[in-house]
């Protein structure tokens, strides 16, 4: 399962270049409450849309399930980075104290591995944390300062108290009038067609 | 809220039904205990020293599970944690065994001279350090302290056990409030008594040696031991059809997280103690570890590093492992075994400094002590509800959802 | 107001206390948090900022003079080669740990009350680590070769000594600073986006916008974001334990009586959390009062913080008792002397200050009245920090000034430059904190919104609206409807 997400991580940037030929980016619908959004997401997922997203000011519990999202592969990235960091940290110390400039310090053997543990651990954690942050930014395709959604005035409230669903026009099931009607029927407060 | 949701769990759902296979456990364990005791008597007659050391290890193992359980439940009360209420009765049953352990302590009193070199008459005259320590390390004070520990532990254990069992009947919410209020002071008293008990019973096996970390080390091991026991018992209950709708993967997940975290904590404490003594290299401190990294004891040390930390750490990292009963219980059972190995490694090198000498008495003592422990605990389980039926927060625990 | 709030405090049996008072909606939270950043600078801010800036200037002067003249401007001598410098280092690192505990460890324990204070606490961590790192940096003597501490290939084939705890410190505290900064920044991204979307001027929109990285609240992004947050919390937790353990090993790996004790790692960690929470308390009292955040940083939050201080303070007391007993038990005359000297020797005044501040005075927190009284909390937070500073001072100086050979005994007295460096470090800390409070949202707005009852998609508003402020309204996940009322 994590492999699917990794595949989309690689395919994503390629897909982004296949912008729609038409004049529209997609449809943006605003909802009043998390509950409304939750139920609407379930219906949109069940309707078979794939190129769509929901937007909230804070993470809403259970929404990933309502959208049918798979688990994030981030923990695997972090694990690999962490183990790599720890190995590099230990290797550095071992090489310095066994190969490069061996010195007898406080009567300990050259490969004094217990003494190497603190730094090994710290470097492992550092790499793991970097992996988490860079991995998260990579998976989220951030920074992305320009996005068609920012053109909507209503969308400014996405970081305040408004909840949205956006369906992109190059989803195979997209149709400007039918999709609009669907979103309106799901209890949207406002529906807007966005240019690309 | 309480009234409506308490009806959601009927007493029949939370007791062992008549005719269930678990009803036979008390008798089977009692028979095992008897057989173990007989084997101890027969084998121990020719090798009393070995008997006392084996008995000490097994005694410490089961006592540490009880004390770990007591800490766990006290912390749940003090922190007002709601998730673990369905599991609390397992902990309560475990720490209700403290009086049983008090009885099982008695055989050791016959072997004090074999176990503790400082109890041998004339030891203090020949050894200046023992002379210095004799205000503390003398038999009468040792016995008084042991009595005090068991009285205090039994008092706290029975207070909490009776309080919780009483609440099953009365449903009185004030019981929870009262138990919560005294949890803090109880934890302090438990921490102090457990520290001194570990000094008395384990650290003084090597009377010249000392470590400020030792009480914490014993606590860490006992806590891991109890959480491991909790995971095994909870999963076993589910497989036996008891509480299988009550204890959910959400609860198992949390137990798994605790197991993971405290395995790491144990490793941190154990490593700190070893590392600081290794680094400073002072002979008065290194004697403890020197005995345990030479000969075949080295293999046991490596087993502890890899088996009590390395493997369980990697194993319990994954989410799926913690949520599935079979995989979690495997981890728990493994860690229980490792906890025994840890205590064995702490105690046995005093008797066998030359190397590991497994003995039939190790098994016999374990069966004898363990048989009593399991018999008493399972007998108690038959006579009580398996969850605190009328705890005001039971509903919250039943509906608990993990991250 | 205080009376009503006190009535709301936890019914010890109910599971879901109300965390945010006055039932605000999401927009109200946004307004109250963004307000101090967008509005005009209150006079109170200048009253804290300007003196802090002055103290920062003092730090600059003191450090410059130190570099110019050398370590001799401090009161250090033989045998006391470490005194205020390392005391301050450990003090500041310890303070930083509370921030990580609040952000990371309380997150792992699902303690949703942390959301009101975690942003400020994380900022505090970063600024505390900045203050901490100045001291080992300036105390080396030849600052111009401080780069020798890093494993950089050079023509002398010289490498740092990885077996030394002083070097583990360099790595540990740097990693801690980095990871804390990353954790803080990741948490800030959604709130920076909030500031961006509300920005009235072009400059603000540009600056907040750049650092918000184009965040648009996409659930697909939240998905990975939450995973990263959990991972960072899970990493920060052992990091906190390891960093202060490594710091304790500066002392514990030695052979000095009073320094070499195996309990040091967990003992120092408990002490760090203890003093760190005290500093968080100081800051939160100031923020709550200055910015009218009484319904977000509530008495309940202070109650919980005081309880944590009681727990960690007790652990510290337990460690004192264990050390004392073991010193006697060991029969080692040097150990025994060290402890008698601490309590009755030339530094007894420091020792008893430490005991009364750290062991005796926190016992007041057994009483709920004390845990929920703002004046007592503020006073205690300062008392505890004084006590914890003295603990580090007592450990370091009493073991150094009288060790094995009486002919090598001495006494340490601080100079004006020792004092200037300490006061100056407070200047650095409070200057950074003032800037933070002025330009960034000091409450984790997105996180606080998640603990409001209406954030749960399964929540149904009921007729209890009027009395929702009282008793057990479950704000968290669950499929049951809120209780009719809880005990008041």
pLDDT in tens, B281-319: 999 999 999 999 998 999 999 999 999 999 999 999 988
Band of residue C388 on the pLDDT scale cut at 50, 70, 90: very high
**Cross-strand bridge partners of residue A30:** A164, A190
- In terms of Cα–Cα distance, which of C226, C231, C200, C195 is closest to C213? C195
Helix (H, G, I), strand (E, B) or coil at C452: coil
Residues of B in contact with A79 (CB under 8 A): 317
Spell out which residues of chain B touch residue A106, defining contact as CB-CB under 8 Å.
279, 281
The Cα–Cα gap between C171 and B118 comes to 45
pLDDT at C8: 55
* Residues B207 and B116: beta-carbon distance below 8 Å: yes
- Facing residues of C328 across strands? none
Mean pLDDT is lowest, of B206-210, B211-215, B240-244, C166-170, for B240-244
Which residue among C163, C225, C455 places its CB closest to the CB of A60?
Answer: C455
Handedness of CA A145, A148, A150, A151 (dihedral sign): positive
Question: Chain C, 443-482: which have a CB under 8 Å from a chain B CB?
Answer: 472, 477-480
- The structure tokens listed for C2 are 């205080």
- Among 3.40.605.10, 3.40.50.2300, 1.20.1630.10, 3.10.310.30, what is the CATH number of C2-9+24-451? 1.20.1630.10
Mean pLDDT of C110-123: 88
pLDDT at C191 over 90: yes
Sorted by sequence, the CB contacts under 8 Å of residue C283 that are 6+ apart come out as C120, C124, C433
pLDDT tens digit string along A54-104?
999 999 988 988 888 999 999 999 999 999 999 999 999 999 999 999 999
**What are A167's strand-pairing partners?**
A27, A52
Q: How many CB pairs under 8 A join A and B?
A: 12
Q: Measure CB to CB from residue C455 to each of A58, A92, A135 and give the nearest one.
A: A58
| Residue B278 at interface with chain A, using a CB cutoff of 8 Å | yes
| Strands of A163-168's sheet in order across | A52-55, A163-168, A24-31, A190-195
- H or E segment and range at residue C29: helix C26-38
pLDDT in tens, B175-204: 999 999 999 999 999 999 999 999 999 999
The per-residue pLDDT for C487 is 35
Average pLDDT of chain B?
93
Residues 122..161 of B with a Cβ closer than 8 Å to C: which?
Answer: 128-129, 132-133, 136
Rounded CA Rg of chain B: 21
Enter the DSSP assignment of A193: E
Distance CA C259, CA C400 (A): 9
Residue showing tokens 């309990």: C263
Give the burial string for B40-66 (b: 16+ CB within 10 Å, else e): beebbeeeeebbbbbbbbbbbbbbbbb
Q: How far A114 CA lies from chain B's nearest CA (Å)?
A: 7
Question: Is A10 part of the contact surface with chain C (CB cutoff 8 Å)?
Answer: no
Q: How far is B68 from chain A (nearest CA, A)?
A: 29
Cβ <8 Å between B281 and A107: yes
Measured at the alpha carbon of residue C248, what is the angle toward residues C245 and C251, in degrees to the nearest 5? 150
Is A107–B274 a contact, with Cβ atoms under 8 angstroms apart?
Answer: no
Q: Which B positions 82-111 lie with beta carbon below 8 A of chain C?
A: 82
Mean pLDDT of C289-304: 87
Q: Is the dihedral of CA B365, B368, B374, B377 positive or negative?
A: negative
For B366, half-sphere exposure in the C-beta direction (CA atoms, 13 angstrom radius) is 13
Residue in A108, A139, A144 nearest the CB of C224 = A139
Alpha-carbon distance C298 to nearest alpha carbon in chain B (angstroms): 19
Which residues are CB-contacts of B127 (< 8 A; sequence separation ≥ 6)?
none
pLDDT at C22: 80
pLDDT, position C480: 38
Q: Which residue's entry shows tokens 């309707």?
A: A47
Residue A108 near chain C (CB below 8 Å): yes
pLDDT band for position C7 (50/70/90)?
low
Nearest to B212 among C110, C322, C472 (CB): C322
Residue length, chain A? 196
Q: Residue B336: name the closest of B368, B372, B308, B296 by CA.
A: B308
Dihedral (C-alpha) B299, B310, B264, C15: value to the nearest 10 degrees? -130
Interhelix angle C299-330/B173-201, rounded to 10 degrees, is: 20
Please, which contacts does C455-458 make with residues 24 or more away whose CB atoms are closer than 8 Å? C455/A34, C455/A58, C455/A60, C455/A61, C455/C26, C456/A34, C456/A61, C457/A34, C457/A35, C457/A37, C457/A38, C457/A39, C457/A60, C457/A61, C457/A62, C457/A63, C457/A66, C458/A35, C458/A62
Contacts of A132 in chain C (CB under 8 A): 182, 228, 231-232, 235
Chain C environment of A105 (Cβ under 8 Å): 161, 163-164
**ipTM attached to this prediction:** 0.92
**Rounded Cα–Cα distance for residues B194 and B156 (Å):** 13
| Rounded Cα gap, residues C89 and C244, in angstroms | 11
Three-state secondary structure call for residue C430: helix
Centroid of chain to Cα B257? 18
Place of tokens 């497989």: B239
Q: Which residue has the tokens 């929901």?
A: A54
In chain B, where are the structural domains located? 2-398
Distance from CA of B318 to the nearest CA of A (A): 10
pLDDT digit string, tens, across residues B82-92? 888 999 999 99
Inspect the interface and report whether the beta carbons of C14 and B392 lie closer than 8 Å: yes
pLDDT in tens, C240-256: 999 999 999 999 999 99
- Strands A24-31 and A52-55, how do they pair? unpaired
Q: Who wins on pLDDT, A181 or C60? A: C60
Chain A residues lying within 8 Å of C167, measured CB to CB: 119
In what helix (H) or strand (E) does residue A163 lie, and over which residues does it extend? Answer: strand A163-168
Contact call for C264 and B216, based on CB within 8 A = no
Neighbours of B216 (CB within 10 A): 29
φ, ψ of residue C90 in degrees (nearest 5)? -65, -40
- Between chains, do A57 and C457 touch, taking CB under 8 Å as contact? no
pLDDT cut 70: percent of chain C above it: 91
Q: How far is C331 from chain B (nearest CA, A)?
A: 6
Q: What subunits touch chain A, counting only 3 or more CB pairs under 8 A? A: B, C
Span C14-26, average pLDDT? 74
Q: Which residues of B310-348 are buried (b: 16+ CB within 10 A; e: fewer)?
A: ebbeebbeeeebbbbbebbbbbbbbbbebbbbbbbbbbb
Q: Measuring CA to CA, which residue among C302, C247, C307, C303 is closest to residue C280?
A: C302
Query: How close A116 gets to chain C, by Cα (Å)?
Result: 7
Best mutation target, C262, C336, C450, C462, to test chain B (most B CBs within 10 A): C262
Which residue in B has a C-alpha nearest to residue A79's C-alpha? B317
Is the pLDDT confidence value at C486 over 70? no
Cα–Cα distance between C470 and B193 in angstroms, integer? 41
Average pLDDT, whole number, for chain C?
88
Domain ranges in chain A are 74-139
Interface list for C 356-385 with B (CB within 8 A): 366
CB contact under 8 A, C238 and B282: no
Q: At residue A14, does pLDDT exceed 60?
A: no
Task: Retrieve residue B189's tokens.
Answer: 């008293």
Segment C334-348 mean pLDDT? 95
Whether residue A193 is predicted with pLDDT greater than 90 in this model: the reply is no
Cα(B328)–Cα(B315) distance, integer angstroms = 9
Structure tokens at B240: 């036996």
* pLDDT above 60: residue A3: no
How far apart, in Å, do the first and last CA atoms of chain B sit?
Answer: 24
Q: Which residues of A touch B274 (CB under 8 A)?
A: 114
Angle between helices B249-280 and C264-290 (to 10 degrees): 120
Give CA–CA dist C147/C153, Å, rounded.
11
Measured CA angle at B397 (ends B395, B399), to 5 deg = 70
Predicted TM-score (pTM) of this structure: 0.91
Q: Which of A45, A76, A85, A160 to mutate to test the interface with C (most CBs of C within 10 A)?
A: A160
* Contact yes or no for C441/C194 (Cβ under 8 A): yes
- Residue C52 has which token pair? 């802090």
Instruction: Check if the beta carbon of residue C330 is closer than 8 Å to that of residue C288.
Output: no
Give me the pLDDT at residue A17, please.
47
To 10 degrees, the CA torsion angle through C261, C266, C270, C272? 80
What is the pLDDT at residue A132? Answer: 96
Long-range contacts, stretch C147-154, CB < 8 angstroms, 24+ apart = C151/A92, C151/A96
Asked if C331 and B279 come within 8 Å (Cβ–Cβ), the reply is no
Residue A42 in tokens: 């379930």
C264 neighbourhood in chain B, CB within 8 Å: 212, 272, 276
């Amino acid at each position: 399962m994590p492999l699917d997400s990794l595949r989309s991580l690689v395919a994503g940037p390629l897909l982004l270049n296949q912008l729609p030929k038409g004049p529209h980016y997609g449809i943006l619908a605003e909802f009043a409450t998390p509950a409304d959004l939750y139920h609407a997401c379930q219906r949109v997922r069940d309707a078979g849309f794939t190129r769509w997203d929901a937007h909230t000011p804070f993470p809403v519990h259970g929404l990933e399930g309502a959208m049918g999202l798979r688990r994030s592969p981030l923990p695997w990235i972090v694990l690999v980075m962490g183990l790599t960091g720890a190995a590099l940290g230990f290797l550095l110390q071992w090489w310095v104290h066994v190969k490069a400039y061996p010195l007898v310090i406080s009567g300990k053997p050259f490969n004094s591995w217990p003494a190497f543990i603190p730094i090994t651990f710290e470097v492992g954690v550092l790499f793991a944390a970097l992996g988490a942050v860079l991995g998260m930014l990579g998976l989220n395709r951030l920074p992305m300062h320009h996005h068609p959604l920012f053109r909507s005035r209503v969308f400014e409230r996405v970081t305040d108290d408004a909840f949205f669903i956006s369906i992109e026009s190059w989803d195979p099931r997209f149709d400007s009038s039918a999709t609009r009607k669907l979103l309106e029927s799901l209890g949207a407060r406002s529906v807007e067609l966005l240019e690309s | 809220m309480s009234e409506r949701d308490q009806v959601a769990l009927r007493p029949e759902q939370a007791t062992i039904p008549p005719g269930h296979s678990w009803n036979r456990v008390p008798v089977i364990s009692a028979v095992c205990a008897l057989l173990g005791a007989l084997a101890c008597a027969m084998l121990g007659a020719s090798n009393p020293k070995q008997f006392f050391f084996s008995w000490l290890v097994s005694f410490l193992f089961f006592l540490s599970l009880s004390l770990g359980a007591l800490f766990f439940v006290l912390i749940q009360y003090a922190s007002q944690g709601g998730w673990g209420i369905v599991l609390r009765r397992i902990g309560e049953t475990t720490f209700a065994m403290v009086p049983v352990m008090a009885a099982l302590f008695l055989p050791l009193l016959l072997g004090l001279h074999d176990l503790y070199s400082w109890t041998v008459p004339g030891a203090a005259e020949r050894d200046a350090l023992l002379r210095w320590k004799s205000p503390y390390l003398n038999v009468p004070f040792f016995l008084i302290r042991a009595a005090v520990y068991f009285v205090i532990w039994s008092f706290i254990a029975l207070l909490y056990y009776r309080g919780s069992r009483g609440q099953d009947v009365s449903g009185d919410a004030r019981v929870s409030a009262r138990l919560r209020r005294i949890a803090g002071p109880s934890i302090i008293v438990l921490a102090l008594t457990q520290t001194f008990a570990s000094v008395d019973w384990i650290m003084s096996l090597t009377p010249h040696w000392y470590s400020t970390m030792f009480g914490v080390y014993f606590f860490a091991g006992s806590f891991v031991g109890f959480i491991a026991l909790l995971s095994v018992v909870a999963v076993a209950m589910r497989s036996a059809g008891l509480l299988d709708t009550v204890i959910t993967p959400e609860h198992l997940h949390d137990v798994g997280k605790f197991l993971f975290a405290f395995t790491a904590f144990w490793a941190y404490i154990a490593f700190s103690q070893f590392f600081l003594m290794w680094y400073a290299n002072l002979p008065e401190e290194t004697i403890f570890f020197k005995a345990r990294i030479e000969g075949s004891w080295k293999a046991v040390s490596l087993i502890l590093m890899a088996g009590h930390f390395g493997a369980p750490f990697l194993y319990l990292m994954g989410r799926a492992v913690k949520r599935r009963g079979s995989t979690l219980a495997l981890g728990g059972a493994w860690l229980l075994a490792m906890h025994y190995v840890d205590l064995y490694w702490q105690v046995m090198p005093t008797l066998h400094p030359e190397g590991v000498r497994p003995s039939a008495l190790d098994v016999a003592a374990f069966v004898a002590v363990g048989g009593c422990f399991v018999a008493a605990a399972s007998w108690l389980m038959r006579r009580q509800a398996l969850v605190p039926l009328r705890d005001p927060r039971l509903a919250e625990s039943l509906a608990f959802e993990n991250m | 107001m205080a009376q009503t709030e006190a009535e709301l405090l936890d019914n010890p049996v109910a599971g879901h206390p109300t965390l945010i008072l006055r039932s605000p909606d999401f927009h109200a939270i946004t307004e109250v948090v963004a307000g101090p950043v967008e509005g005009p600078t209150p006079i109170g801010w200048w009253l804290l900022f300007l003196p802090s800036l002055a103290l920062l200037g003092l730090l600059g002067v003191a450090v410059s003079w130190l570099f110019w003249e050398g370590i001799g401007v401090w009161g250090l001598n033989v045998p006391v080669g470490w005194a205020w410098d390392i005391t301050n280092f450990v003090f500041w690192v310890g303070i930083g740990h509370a921030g990580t505990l609040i952000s990371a460890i309380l997150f792992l324990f699902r303690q949703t009350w942390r959301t009101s204070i975690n942003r400020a606490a994380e900022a505090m961590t970063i600024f505390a680590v900045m203050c901490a790192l100045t001291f080992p940096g300036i105390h080396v003597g030849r600052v111009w070769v401080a780069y020798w501490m890093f494993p950089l290939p050079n023509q002398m084939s010289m490498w740092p000594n990885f077996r030394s705890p002083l070097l583990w410190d360099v790595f540990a505290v740097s990693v801690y600073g980095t990871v804390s900064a990353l954790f803080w920044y990741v948490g800030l991204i959604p709130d920076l986006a909030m500031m961006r979307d509300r920005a009235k001027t072009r400059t603000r929109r540009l600056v907040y916008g750049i650092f918000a990285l184009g965040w648009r609240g996409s659930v697909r992004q939240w998905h990975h974001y939450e995973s990263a947050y959990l991972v960072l919390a899970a990493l920060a937790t052992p990091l906190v334990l390891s960093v202060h353990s490594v710091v304790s090993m500066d002392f514990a790996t030695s052979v000095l009586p009073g320094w070499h004790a195996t309990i040091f790692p967990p003992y120092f960690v408990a002490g760090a959390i203890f003093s760190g929470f005290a500093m968080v308390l100081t800051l939160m009292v100031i923020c709550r009062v200055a910015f009218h955040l009484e319904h977000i940083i509530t008495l309940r939050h202070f109650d919980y913080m005081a309880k944590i201080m009681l727990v960690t303070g007790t652990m510290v007391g337990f460690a004192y008792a264990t050390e004392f007993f073991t010193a006697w038990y060991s029969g080692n005359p040097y150990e025994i002397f060290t402890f008698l000297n601490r309590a009755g020797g030339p530094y007894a005044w420091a020792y008893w200050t430490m005991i009364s501040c750290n062991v005796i005075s926190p016992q007041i927190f057994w009483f709920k009245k004390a845990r929920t009284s703002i004046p007592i909390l503020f006073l205690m937070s300062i008392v505890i920090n004084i006590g914890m500073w003295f603990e580090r001072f007592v450990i370091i100086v009493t073991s150094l000034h009288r060790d094995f050979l009486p002919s090598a005994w001495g006494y340490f007295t601080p100079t004006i430059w020792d004092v200037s460096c300490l006061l100056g470090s407070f200047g650095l800390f409070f200057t950074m904190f003032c800037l933070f409070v002025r330009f960034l949202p000091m409450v984790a707005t997105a996180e606080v919104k998640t603990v409001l009852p209406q954030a749960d998609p399964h929540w149904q508003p009921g007729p209890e609206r009027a009395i929702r402020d009282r008793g057990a309204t479950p704000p968290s996940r669950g499929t049951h409807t809120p209780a009719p009322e809880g005990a008041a």
